[in-house]
């Protein structure tokens, strides 16, 4: 089965309630996960997220916010469905989901996870794809998959390791720790912790402050930071110098 076929299969459910609400305002695209009460991520979520990604790439979009509801960002997969229906998560689905997450991670504009409440499993893995994770003080985060005999399958192991280092990521994942926002801040997993009151107001101020810089400079920094994953330090420095000259000569 190809990714295109998989996309069409899940798109057949379009007559059902949408799992993602999308709003664009002031060049900021906001995707809100809307599958109460737990904001679980069934297979068709990835199709909707892929459709959202296509909107993210528009030239008129300068930043993206991914969020949930005030009480839950997302608790990831529905464990009951997973345990009761063997084969509900197929190889094609998990590969497709990873590809969608990878596309979001490679986006050349700021992507912000605005986390209020529970952010667990696949929901946390989605947040880890983003450039910034902003939390309300009531948030809880974690990758508890080992507690049911599986592991994070959407890049969470690798992305968490980049942020915390291998030893701490190993500890958090193998113990299945669920930790509060302040601990996540101390571990360099999140960028800011805001009061729960008017949380999205604080998020919007953060994003608008980011966008006060020139868009080409923002994109250059994002691209150069990303190079650290696969380019030598010497080449990174040279690339930064070259990009500096390009931008300076535009002034």
Question: Is residue 82 within 8 Å of residue 40, measured between CB atoms?
Answer: no
**60-102 pLDDT, tens digit each:** 999 999 999 999 999 998 877 766 666 667 889 899 999 999 9
Q: Is 105 a catalytic residue?
A: no
**16-66 pLDDT, tens digit each:** 579 999 999 999 999 999 999 999 999 999 999 999 999 999 999 999 999
User: Of 25, 145, 171, 235, which residue is the catalytic one?
Assistant: 145
**125-153 pLDDT, tens digit each:** 999 999 999 999 999 999 999 998 889 99
Q: Is 125 a catalytic residue?
A: yes
User: Of 99, 105, 125, 233, which residue is the catalytic one?
Assistant: 125
Please, what is the Cα angle at 21 between 40 and 4, to 5 degrees? 75
Question: Is residue 31 within 8 Å of residue 20, measured between CB atoms?
Answer: yes
**146-175 pLDDT, tens digit each:** 998 889 999 999 999 999 999 999 999 999
Q: How far is residue 130's CA from residue 44's CA, in Å, rounded to a whole number?
A: 20
Handedness of CA 19, 128, 120, 199 (dihedral sign): negative
């Amino acid at each position: 089965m190809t990714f295109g076929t998989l996309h069409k299969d899940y798109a057949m459910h379009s007559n059902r309630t949408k799992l993602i609400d999308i709003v664009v305002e002031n060049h900021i695209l906001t995707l809100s996960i809307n599958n109460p009460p737990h904001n679980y991520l069934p297979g068709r979520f990835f199709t909707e997220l892929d459709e959202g990604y296509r909107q993210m790439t528009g030239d008129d979009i300068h930043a993206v916010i991914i969020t949930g509801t005030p009480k839950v960002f997302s608790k990831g997969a529905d464990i009951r469905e997973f345990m009761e229906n063997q084969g509900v998560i197929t190889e094609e689905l998990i590969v497709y989901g990873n590809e969608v997450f990878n596309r979001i991670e490679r986006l050349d504009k700021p992507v912000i996870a605005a986390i209020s409440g529970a952010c667990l499993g696949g929901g946390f893995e989605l947040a880890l794809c983003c450039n910034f994770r902003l939390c309300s003080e009531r948030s809880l985060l974690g990758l508890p998959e080992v507690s049911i005999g599986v592991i994070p399958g959407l890049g969470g192991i690798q992305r968490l390791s980049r942020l915390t280092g291998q030893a701490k990521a190993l500890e958090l994942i193998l113990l299945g720790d669920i930790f509060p926002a302040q601990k996540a801040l101390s571990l360099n997993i999140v960028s800011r912790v805001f009061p729960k009151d008017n949380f999205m107001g604080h998020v919007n101020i953060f994003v608008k402050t980011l966008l006060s810089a020139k868009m080409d400079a923002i994109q250059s920094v994002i691209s150069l930071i990303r190079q650290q994953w696969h380019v030598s330090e010497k080449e990174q420095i040279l690339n930064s110098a070259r990009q500096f000259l390009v931008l300076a000569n535009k002034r």
